[in-house]
Structure 1
């Protein structure tokens, strides 16, 4: 039986990608946003300030996927990441939803000398990474034995949804590090991400333990200039500022035990083609 899914935060970059990837999929999805969407019907409310509408939307749902969040702003604005996650958890409790998928970030790790696993020490260097750490801690500290199954996804860079402009952009400046290369990051294409999330939605939970924290990325990691080259961007190196993070890459062995990811998913041209197909 197909699962009914409530997606919170459908108007953001990742939500827009998922709407396009899943447009023709046989999935029962209720899309939430704070404003009307151009391409399909959605329900409009704020999950934090209107918990009754959130609880009503969650009725009869099997899964809540929370994409809603804030990437920049003041400390109070970034705290919304925690408030949104707790709102999703509370609505799942009230409505009897059995699976909640929350989006965290690779930013909780800070930099890395090697691929970091889910048990690595978190060392965020920016306000966004710190806010995601606070979200994770708050959710984990409030969990009860009878709560829904929680997936906490530490998401790597999503091609087309991160800070690197690739499509229809002007001349792009990229930090050049002492080794002569650009930053090395764990990336994933939007179509691959959508398929990973779909597989987690459909995954049999019988032998799994909640909460499950997972790194989400394709492998191997990618130098950012290779994406710019694949996208045929007009770009140039610029001196990296003090404090620039040369490497932030994730070990995805745990994810690969649960889902199938094509071997070429991290190839720059494959990820760029996914973005172009959805743009």
Structure 2
């Protein structure tokens, strides 16, 4: 589905909040200054940065400064599973993103939630699977979703993107980048953990598709699982990065599979076969990763 060639909303912008984190930096490198479905990106940072397309803004401390007219807001900012950042900020950041979207005239808000809201599930989690987060990070993302989906009338519509592991940006990728030895749980079948992953290039193209649907007036869901269609073995990613690892017996509480169903996303975005390949995910991070 093509983007509108022209519309009364041409010249609008996409505000990306959290543009200097691992995922935000990788997306900036992938897009390379290009427009995103006709929208010019505005990159938010809390630091004073010069250069076209940047806005200095501390979302939790001040109102949005003057920015060009917005079409959409993408919130990537917030704490990470590794413990960086304050998890209590998740809900206030969601409210700040919504207020910024309203102030800038945006028509849609995309919030980076997480697969962690599902907690332990035996089957592939669907968007209507009950949330049972187990970690503080999962609880913080659930609180963010609640803050975003229970707002007064008049706010722009929201889609909470329950993103799986972004290959390279998550804990395994950070361990690889640090050079530390990696140990994987080995389960009864002799294999290791399998997770829902997505490469940063694929994530960028998914976001482009969602912006395209927004601009074409397609109704978007309030929550959406975001991952490649086929789950990925962590061992395959390590092989693709050229890294070895040691095995350890999986403890009783360890989960071999933590995966999501992405049929709803597949109705909105056309994946390529290689999008589920560990080699492509690893290559994307080597090229664009922070």
Check whether TM > 0.5: yes
Shift of 1:159: 0.3
- 1:224 match: 234
Aligned residues: 273
Shift of 1:167: 4.3
Q: Structure 1 residues 43 and 24, CA, compared in 2 at 3 Å: closer, same or farther?
A: closer
Give distance in 2, aligned partners of 1:158 and 1:119.
22
User: 5+ residue gaps in structure 1?
Assistant: none
Pairing partner for 1:174 from 169, 184, 208 = 184
Q: Structure 1 residues 24 and 77, CA, compared in 2 at 3 Å: closer, same or farther?
A: closer
Give distance in 2, aligned partners of 1:96 and 1:38.
25
Aligned residue for 1:214, secondary structure, equals strand
Give distance in 1, aligned partners of 2:257 and 2:204.
25
Give distance in 2, aligned partners of 1:41 and 1:173.
41
Structure 2 contact 162–224 (Cα < 8 Å) conserved: yes
Structure 1 contact 9–66 (Cα < 8 Å) conserved: yes
Q: Structure 1 residues 247 and 73, CA, compared in 2 at 3 Å: closer, same or farther?
A: closer
Q: Structure 1 residues 163 and 136, CA, compared in 2 at 3 Å: closer, same or farther?
A: same
- 1:152 match: 160
Give distance in 1, aligned partners of 2:207 and 2:64.
26
Map 1:135-150 to 2 at 5 A.
135-144=144-153, 146-150=154-158
Structure 1 contact 111–247 (Cα < 8 Å) conserved: no
Structure 2 length normalisation: TM-score?
Answer: 0.86
- 2:4 match: none
1:257 aligns with 2:267: yes
- 1:47 match: 59
Structure 2 contact 230–276 (Cα < 8 Å) conserved: yes
Structure 1 length normalisation: TM-score?
Answer: 0.90
Give distance in 1, aligned partners of 2:50 and 2:139.
33
- 1:248 match: 258
- 2:219 match: 208
Q: Structure 1 residues 225 and 95, CA, compared in 2 at 3 Å: closer, same or farther?
A: same
Pairing partner for 2:196 from 186, 196, 218 = 186
